[in-house]
A and B are shown apart, each in its own frame.
Chain A
Amino acid sequence: MEFLFALLVGALFTVSVYLFLSRHLIRILMGAAILGNAVNLLIFTTGRVTREVPPIIAPDLPTLEVAAANPLPQALILTAIVISFSFFAFLLVLGYRAFEELKTDDTEEMRVAEPVDDPAPPLGY
C-alpha cells in the first residue's frame, strides 16, 4: 500500500514541478495547489498506512490491542492543509493583482522591480 502511495506522491510532485517550470503565473498557481496536496499525501504515507482502526483504548485494557491508525500524521496534515490553503488563497489574489497591475501573467515580462534597462552606477564623480 505504501508503495502505491509513494508512486502517487511521486506523480503529483512531477506534475507540480512541471507546472512550476512554466513561465505563466496561472500554471505556477496550479502547480502550487498540487504541491500542497502532494506534501500532505507524503506526510500521510511516511506516518505508515495502517488499518482504519481508531486509536482508542478500551476501558478494561491498559494499552491498545490491535494496530490502530496513527493520529499524529493526520494532525500534521490538518495543520499543513490550513497553512497551504491560506497560502494558496493569498497567492491567487496576488497572481490576479499581478495580472491587473502588470498586464501580463508571463513571469519573463515581470521586470518592474528589476528593470531590464537599469543603468549601471556611475564609475566616478
Chain B
Amino acid sequence: MASPSPTPVDLSAAMVMAPSSPSDWLVVLPVAWCLLAGAILLMIRRRTELQAGLAIAALSLLALMDLALLSRVVADGPVTMTMGRWLPPFGISFTVDVLGAVFAFTSALVAVAAAVFARGDVDANGRRYGFYPFLMLLMGGVSGAFLTGDVFNLYVWFEVLLISSFGLLVLGSTREQIDGATKYAFLNLVATTLFLITTAYLYGLFGTLNMADIAVKAPALRGTAPLMTLTTLYLLAFGMKAAAFPVNFWLPASYHTPKLVVSALFGGLLTKVGVYALLRTQIMLFPLERGELATLIAIVAALTMLLGVLGALAQNDQRRAVGFLVVSGIGVMMAGLALGNPGGLSGAVLYGVHSMVVMAGLYFAVGLGARVSGTFLLSDGGGIHAARAGLSFVTLALLLSVAGLPPFSGLWPKVMLVRAALEAGAGWLAAAILVTGLLTLVAAGRVFALAHWRPAQIEAPRAAARAGDRGALASLVVLTALSVVFGLWPEPVIALAQKAAAGLLDPSAYILSVFPGEVPQ
C-alpha cells in the first residue's frame, strides 16, 4: 500500500531534523536513569543484600547527573529536549531551567541520604516488598516533575511519584499506616484530579500543553479566556499537594505513620514538588492573574505557617510535631509566592532548598533519638543528651535551623522574605514570618528540653546496635553539615535562587530554549 507520496513533504516544518547533541540527553537522563534503576532493583528484589548498595550507587549517580545538569543550565541558560523528534509544541518537551535543576539536585542529595539511612531503618522484609524500587521510582517522578516543560507531562510525573509514595507509605502495613494511607490516598486523589480537570480546561482554551507555548499565548487570550479560573484552580490543586491551609489535613494524618526514612523523604521532597508547581504555574504562566490573587495567597500563607507551628506545639509525638513544622514551612514559601517580587521568590526557592535538607534531617534525628530513648513521645522522653551527647548536639543544630537562627541555613531565606515583604508594604506578612519563627523556636526548644536534655523518664529498651547505625548517623551529620555550610557561606546558593527567580519572572530565555527560531503566535 505504501506508495511514494506525490507531493513532496517538507519534514523540517514539523520535525526536528538535526540529531540531539549528546549533552542534551542530560535533560532526560535523570528520569530515564531512575526508572531503569528502579526496574532493575525490582527484578532483583529478592536479593535483599544487594539492594541497598545498588540503590545508593544509583542515587549518587543521579545526584551527579543533576549536578552536571545544574552547572550546564547555570552556564548556558535553559536547555530543552523534545521527545519523538516532533517540534514543540507537538512533541513533549523537557525544559530545564535553574529552578528545576536546583530542586532536582537538592532532592537527589536528600534521596542519597535517605537510601543510606534506610539501611538501618528498613529491614529485609521491607526490602523484599520493594522499598528501594519504590524509592527509585519516587525519585523518577520527582525528577520528572522538576524537569518537564509540559503541563500534562507534569501531571503524569505527579502520578508516578504519588503511586510510588503509596507503596512506601503502606510498607509494613501496621494499623496506623493503613489508617494514615487511606486519608493520604483519597485526599491526594482529589488534588491530582483537580490538577487534571484544570489541565483539561487549559487545553480547551489554549490548544496546547507546552508551558513555554502557554506563556507566549497567555497575553493574547487574557481579554477573552477565563484565565483567572485556571489560575485559581491550579492554586487549589497545587496548594493541596503542597499542604497549604485549609487543604493540608492529609499531611499530619499520615506523615508520622510510615518508617522514618519514608517520613523524611515525604517531608523533605513531596510537598516541595507542589510548591515548585505553584511557582511554575502562578509566576511563569499566569503572572497577572496571580497578582489578582496575591492577597488571598498571602492570607493562606500566613494561616498555613501560624497554624502549622501551633499544631506542632500541640503535639506530644515528635514525628507529628515535625509533620506540622513541614506544613509551617510551606506557609513561609507561599509568602514568597504571594509577594511575587524577585526578593520574595528567591526567598521561597531558597527556603525550599533549605527545607528539603533540614526537614529530612530532622526526621532522621527524631528517629535516631527514639532509638536511644525508646519513645517518640515528649511526655515519656528524655535522656538522649546523657546517652549520646553528639546526636543531641546535631539534633539541636537542626532544630535551630528550622527555627531560622544563625548560623544555620534557615536564617537567610527568612531574612530575604521579611525584607521582600517590607519592601512590598506587607508588614503584617513579615510579622507573621517572624512570629512563626519565634513559635517554631519554642516548639523546637521544647523538643530539645523534654526529649534530649532532661533525665530519662522510662527505662529505654537496650536496643542492640543495628546494622547501618553508623551510616544513618553519617547521613544525618552530612545533612546538618549542609545546613551549617549554607548558613555560613550562603552567597552561591542565594545567587542560584536569585537566578531561578529571575528565570521565572522573565521566562524569555525559557521560551527561547523551546522555540529557538520563530516563536509561534
Expressed in whole angstroms, the Cα–Cα distance for A47 and B204 within the complex equals 6
Chain B residues within an 8 Å CB radius of A86: 163
Q: Is the CB of A60 within 8 A of B7?
A: yes
Query: Which residues of B in the span 167-217 have a Cβ within 8 Å of any Cβ on A?
Result: 170, 173, 175-183, 185-186, 189-190, 193, 196-197, 200-201, 203-204
Q: Is B6 an interface residue (CB 8 A)?
A: yes
Q: Is B253 an interface residue (CB 8 A)?
A: yes
- On whether A46 and B316 interact (CB within 8 A), knowing A83-B156, A101-B175, the answer reads no
Chain B residues within an 8 Å CB radius of A47: 203-204
Q: Is the CB of B450 within 8 A of A122?
A: yes
- On whether A94 and B200 interact (CB within 8 A), knowing A32-B189, A60-B6, A118-B316, the answer reads no
Expressed in whole angstroms, the Cα–Cα distance for A121 and B378 within the complex equals 6
Q: Is the CB of A113 within 8 A of B180?
A: yes
Chain B residues within an 8 Å CB radius of A121: 313-316, 378-379, 446, 450
Q: How far is the CB of B297 from chain A (nearest CB, A)?
A: 25
Q: How far is the CB of B349 from chain A (nearest CB, A)?
A: 29
Query: Which residues of A in the span 57-92 have a Cβ within 8 Å of any Cβ on B?
Result: 59-62, 72-73, 76, 79-80, 83, 86-87, 90-91
Query: Which residues of B in the span 60-111 have a Cβ within 8 Å of any Cβ on A?
Result: none
Q: Is the CB of A76 within 8 A of B203?
A: yes
Q: Is the CB of A35 within 8 A of B173?
A: no
Of B5, B179, B446, which one neighbours A102 at CB under 8 angstroms?
B179
Q: Is the CB of B446 within 8 A of A95?
A: no
Chain A residues within an 8 Å CB radius of B159: 83, 87
- Interface residues of chain A: helix, strand, loop or mixed (majority): helix
Chain A residues within an 8 Å CB radius of B166: 90, 94
Q: Is B412 an interface residue (CB 8 A)?
A: no
Q: Is the CB of A91 within 8 A of B185?
A: yes
Expressed in whole angstroms, the Cα–Cα distance for A118 and B189 within the complex equals 28
Expressed in whole angstroms, the Cα–Cα distance for A122 and B451 within the complex equals 11
Q: Is B454 an interface residue (CB 8 A)?
A: yes
Q: Is the CB of B3 within 8 A of A39?
A: no
Q: How far is the CB of A76 from chain B (nearest CB, A)?
A: 6
Expressed in whole angstroms, the Cα–Cα distance for A122 and B354 within the complex equals 30
Expressed in whole angstroms, the Cα–Cα distance for A118 and B180 within the complex equals 16
Query: Which residues of A in the span 96-125 have a Cβ within 8 Å of any Cβ on B?
Result: 97-98, 101-102, 107, 110-114, 118-122, 125
Q: How far is the CB of B37 from chain A (nearest CB, A)?
A: 21
- On whether A125 and B186 interact (CB within 8 A), knowing A112-B176, A112-B179, A113-B253, the answer reads no
Which residue of A is nearest B205, CB measured? A46
Q: Is the CB of B379 within 8 A of A46?
A: no
Q: How far is the CB of A61 from chain B (nearest CB, A)?
A: 7
Q: Is the CB of A59 within 8 A of B254?
A: no
Query: Which residues of B in the span 374-403 have a Cβ within 8 Å of any Cβ on A?
Result: 378-379
Q: How far is the CB of B234 from chain A (nearest CB, A)?
A: 15
Expressed in whole angstroms, the Cα–Cα distance for A89 and B211 within the complex equals 31
- On whether A42 and B3 interact (CB within 8 A), knowing A94-B181, A94-B185, the answer reads no
Q: Is B510 an interface residue (CB 8 A)?
A: no
Q: How far is the CB of B240 from chain A (nearest CB, A)?
A: 14
Q: Is the CB of A46 within 8 A of B203?
A: yes
Q: Is B256 an interface residue (CB 8 A)?
A: yes
Expressed in whole angstroms, the Cα–Cα distance for A111 and B253 within the complex equals 9
Q: Is the CB of B254 within 8 A of A62?
A: no
Chain B residues within an 8 Å CB radius of A120: 314, 316
Q: How far is the CB of B343 from chain A (nearest CB, A)?
A: 36
Q: How far is the CB of B457 from chain A (nearest CB, A)?
A: 10
- On whether A119 and B316 interact (CB within 8 A), knowing A47-B204, A114-B253, the answer reads yes
User: What are 18 A-to-B residue pairs whose CB atoms are below 8 Å?
Assistant: A35-B193, A39-B200, A43-B203, A47-B203, A59-B3, A83-B156, A86-B163, A87-B163, A90-B185, A97-B173, A98-B178, A102-B179, A112-B179, A113-B183, A113-B254, A120-B314, A122-B378, A122-B379
Task: Other than A46-B204, A102-B179, give 8 A-B pairs with Cβ distance below 8 A.
Answer: A35-B189, A62-B9, A87-B163, A91-B185, A94-B166, A97-B173, A98-B182, A121-B450
Cβ-closest 5 pairs across A and B: A46-B204, A112-B179, A113-B180, A43-B200, A113-B179
